[in-house]
Chains A and B, each alone.
Chain A
Amino acid sequence: MTLEEFTIAFESVKPQLKSYLLRITASVEDTEDLVQDAFIRASQKLDDFRAESTLKTWIFTIASNLAKDNLRAKKRWPESVTDICREKALADPDYFPEIAKIMESAPHTAFEIKEHIVFCLTCIAKSLPLEQQICLFLKEIYEFRVSEIAAIMQTTEAMVKYHLHTGRSKMVLIYEGRCALIHKQGSCHQCSELNGIFNPKQDFEIEKNKIEFAKKANDPDREKLLDLRLKIMKEIDPFNSKGAPLQLHHIQYNRTAMENYSEKNER
């Protein structure tokens, strides 16, 4: 494969790769750097590519290794990440003016409930051990097979299955305890709060019932509800969705807030 052919192929994988790296790192800047580093590293190793896997799997392997190096020293987020960041935002005098500025500069921005669900899922998944988060996203969002994930993670298929299963179980448990969309006693109402801020003319109940997993909140198969939540994430490109400018702002805001929180709690 020539460098030119590789560059064309890389560009076709890039949107998914960017989305994946953003969801793993929760940082636009780190994502841009990692995409660039992955391109350079892959171009330098082009002779090593033996087509034993697809080019997409190979690129994701290189990018995942770089992301793991980037994240190794960073703390995982607590399950209560959305509560911590909410408090921080409410106490921050710059938070709402910043949002107003984004909405003014991008008038077509629409931060619907679905955008918040994806934002929430991105943050909550960062409370999983990194291997579980990566396996879960690669399988459920980026549609890799278990064997391909094993190649990307340089582990066995059995361990990928373990990470997937435990990651999914933990996500189900967290949402069961927190999410008011699926559980009346859920402690987190941020979807309705944020919808009130970004879409003040909407009736939250009507909007909520347009979302399949919220409609099926009483379904005892909680794994199915998680799948529906993951399906929403799969359908939204965080860099090109209607709510992208706000989505990216919120993710970056939470990343900074969580870094400060970790530092404070380490002292």
Chain B
Amino acid sequence: MTSGTSNGKAITNKKTFSRETAVRIDIQADPSIIWALLTNAHDFPRWNSTVISIEGSIAPGEKIRLKAQLDPKRTFKLTILEFEPETRLEWGDSMGKRRYSLKPIGPNLTNFSMVEKIGGPLFPLFAKMIPSFDQAFEQFAHDLKMEAETISKTK
């Protein structure tokens, strides 16, 4: 898996049969707040400018329909593959998987990372048609940090 520093900058590793994009950022908030934001499907578009809509329930084994700004005409039908509260969430389809990880690193301080790996035997054929995820990943991490830290400051 791609690693990186927690500066909110996306890193992409390209290989012949796959591509992996990752972003990592420190958020001054309890993991439960970040987890609540990441698992409340209908609330996503309110705080996350990269998402148009998510239909369905983000829960173990459930299927969701995601529309993203990166490719607004397309609806991604994804399955929730991993769901470990306040720790790890993964969704994906036959093309790829996206994993969100949360790690408490201090009082009210959480390290958030998001990694997406796409690929397969036919990947070289359509690799050039898939846009870069870097900007969307950085925006996602930034939006999440802003929203979680705003909530955390509630008195």
The interface of chain A, by Cβ under 8 A from chain B, is: 146, 156, 158-159, 161-162, 164-166, 169-170, 173
Taking a contact as CB atoms under 8 Å apart, the answer to whether B40 and A161 are in contact is no
Taken together as a complex, chains A and B put the C-alpha atoms of A156 and B30 apart, in Å, by 10
Taking a contact as CB atoms under 8 Å apart, the answer to whether A162 and B150 are in contact is no
Taking a contact as CB atoms under 8 Å apart, the answer to whether B46 and A161 are in contact is no
Taking a contact as CB atoms under 8 Å apart, the answer to whether B30 and A169 are in contact is no
Taking a contact as CB atoms under 8 Å apart, the answer to whether A156 and B32 are in contact is yes
Taking a contact as CB atoms under 8 Å apart, the answer to whether A158 and B155 are in contact is no
Cβ of B43: which chain A residues have Cβ within 8 Å of it?
Answer: 166
Taking a contact as CB atoms under 8 Å apart, the answer to whether B40 and A166 are in contact is yes
Scan B127-153; emit 1 where CB is below 8 A from any A CB, else 0: 000000000000000000000001110
Taking a contact as CB atoms under 8 Å apart, the answer to whether B30 and A165 are in contact is no
Task: From the candidates B33, B40, B46, name the one contacting A158 in the complex (CB within 8 A).
Answer: B33
Scan B25-46; emit 1 where CB is below 8 A from any A CB, else 0: 0000110110011001001001
Q: Chain A nearest CB: distance from B143 CB in Å?
A: 13
Taken together as a complex, chains A and B put the C-alpha atoms of A146 and B152 apart, in Å, by 11
Taken together as a complex, chains A and B put the C-alpha atoms of A156 and B151 apart, in Å, by 13
Taken together as a complex, chains A and B put the C-alpha atoms of A162 and B38 apart, in Å, by 12
Cβ of B37: which chain A residues have Cβ within 8 Å of it?
Answer: 162
Q: Chain B nearest CB: distance from A140 CB in Å?
A: 12
Q: Chain A nearest CB: distance from B151 CB in Å?
A: 4
The interface of chain B, by Cβ under 8 A from chain A, is: 29-30, 32-33, 36-37, 40, 43, 46, 150-152, 154-155
Cβ of A170: which chain B residues have Cβ within 8 Å of it?
Answer: 46
Top 7 nearest A-B pairs by Cβ distance?
A: A158-B30, A161-B154, A165-B151, A158-B32, A162-B36, A158-B33, A161-B151
Tell me the total A-B contact number using a CB cutoff of 8 A: 32
Taking a contact as CB atoms under 8 Å apart, the answer to whether B29 and A158 are in contact is yes
Task: From the candidates A162, A164, A169, name the one contacting B46 in the complex (CB within 8 A).
Answer: A169
Q: Chain B nearest CB: distance from A136 CB in Å?
A: 12
Taken together as a complex, chains A and B put the C-alpha atoms of A158 and B154 apart, in Å, by 9
Taking a contact as CB atoms under 8 Å apart, the answer to whether B40 and A165 are in contact is no
Taking a contact as CB atoms under 8 Å apart, the answer to whether A165 and B150 are in contact is yes
Task: From the candidates B32, B33, B154, name the one contacting A146 in the complex (CB within 8 A).
Answer: B154
Taken together as a complex, chains A and B put the C-alpha atoms of A165 and B46 apart, in Å, by 12
Taken together as a complex, chains A and B put the C-alpha atoms of A146 and B151 apart, in Å, by 12
Q: Which residue of A is nearest B36, CB measured?
A: A162
Q: Chain B nearest CB: distance from A187 CB in Å?
A: 20
Taken together as a complex, chains A and B put the C-alpha atoms of A161 and B155 apart, in Å, by 8
Cβ of A173: which chain B residues have Cβ within 8 Å of it?
Answer: 46
Cβ of A146: which chain B residues have Cβ within 8 Å of it?
Answer: 154-155
Cβ of B29: which chain A residues have Cβ within 8 Å of it?
Answer: 158
A-B contact pairs, 29 of them (CB 8 A): A146-B154, A146-B155, A156-B30, A156-B32, A158-B29, A158-B32, A158-B152, A159-B32, A159-B33, A159-B36, A161-B33, A161-B151, A161-B152, A161-B154, A162-B32, A162-B33, A162-B36, A162-B37, A162-B151, A164-B154, A165-B150, A165-B154, A166-B40, A166-B43, A166-B46, A166-B151, A169-B46, A170-B46, A173-B46
Taken together as a complex, chains A and B put the C-alpha atoms of A159 and B86 apart, in Å, by 12
Taken together as a complex, chains A and B put the C-alpha atoms of A169 and B32 apart, in Å, by 19
Cβ of B46: which chain A residues have Cβ within 8 Å of it?
Answer: 166, 169-170, 173
Q: Chain B nearest CB: distance from A131 CB in Å?
A: 10
Taken together as a complex, chains A and B put the C-alpha atoms of A162 and B43 apart, in Å, by 12
